[in-house]
Structure 1
Amino acid sequence: MIDDGRPLFLQIAEQIEDSILDGSLAEETQAPSTNELAGFYRINPATAAKGVAMLTDKGVLYKRRGIGMFVATGAKDLLLGERRSAFADRFIEPLLAEARTLGLTPADLAALLAERAAQTERTEGNPA
């Protein structure tokens, strides 16, 4: 995880977000401390703190004085909304632009998606 050239604090924040989205870090449970994150990833605690602060500013985490950071109620829904919006911007908009160029309708795109999904399921279900 910590190696793709993006700032480390962003990678830390994404890792925490991924844990919330996959359910391994549930809402209203304690998040790893900055010292735990720093030790685990062998980074400066200030870098880990910057990633945690970013999530606090977004409303994903909140601080309980003297106890630590916790996952906010609604954090998963907030993150899903952000990720869906980013997915649409990154993949759906270009897909729609190319579909218009090719003269494909939304129904054509839905049919292509269904066809490819079925192929993927068959391929994954039958290892070669």
Structure 2
Amino acid sequence: MSNVFNSDKPIYIQVRELIEDLIINKQLNEDEQAPSTNQLVNYYKINHATVSKGINQLVEEEILYKKRGIGMFVAKGARDKILKMRRQAFIEDNIVSLVQEAEKLEITIEEIFNYIKDVKGREKQ
């Protein structure tokens, strides 16, 4: 198995996120062909069923669509849909716990904003 994947979450989810990242980063655009299941299996050396499960989720959520005999393609509005889902997940996974912990530690919203600005400033250096 490829070193690209980690044990933090199931590989099919990581395959799905890999394709989503290509769409978010505009490496795959609407109506462009996505990598095939076989290409992903061969490149990453992972099980066909695992790859199919990740891709099928994207099809079910209308991020990708199938053209019979040709392959998978990026659906219209896919990038916006992914961004919306990921933003909501980011809020639930990060912001909620951040605010809860800040309240316990008596950190104000203004202090949180300042910490975020400091961290963001360090990234630019």
Structure 1 length normalisation: TM-score? Answer: 0.83
Are 1:76 and 2:79 an aligned pair? Answer: yes
Aligned residues: 122
Identity %: 40
1:78-117 alignment runs, 5 A limit? 78-117=81-120
Correspondent of 2:69 among 66, 82, 92: 66
Q: 64-73 or 99-108: which moved more? A: 99-108
Q: CA deviation at 1:85?
A: 1.2
Where does structure 1 lack aligned partners over 5 or more consecutive residues?
none
Deviations 1:45-73 (A, max 9, x none): 22221111011111110111222110111
Task: Give the aligned CA root-mean-square deviation in angstroms.
Answer: 1.8
Structure 2 length normalisation: TM-score? Answer: 0.84
Q: CA deviation at 1:29?
A: 0.4
Q: CA deviation at 1:5?
A: 5.5
Q: Looking at CA atoms only, which structure, 1 or 2, has the larger radius of gyration?
A: 1
Aligned-partner Cα distance in 2 for 1:113–1:48: 37
Aligned amino acid, residue 111 of structure 1? N
Where does structure 2 lack aligned partners over 5 or more consecutive residues?
none
Aligned-partner Cα distance in 1 for 2:11–2:118: 39
Moved over 4 A (4+): none
Aligned-partner Cα distance in 2 for 1:71–1:21: 11
Aligned-partner Cα distance in 1 for 2:44–2:112: 42
Q: Evaluate the alpha carbon distance shift between residue 49 and residue 101 of structure 1 in structure 2; reply closer, same or farther with a 3 A threshold.
A: same
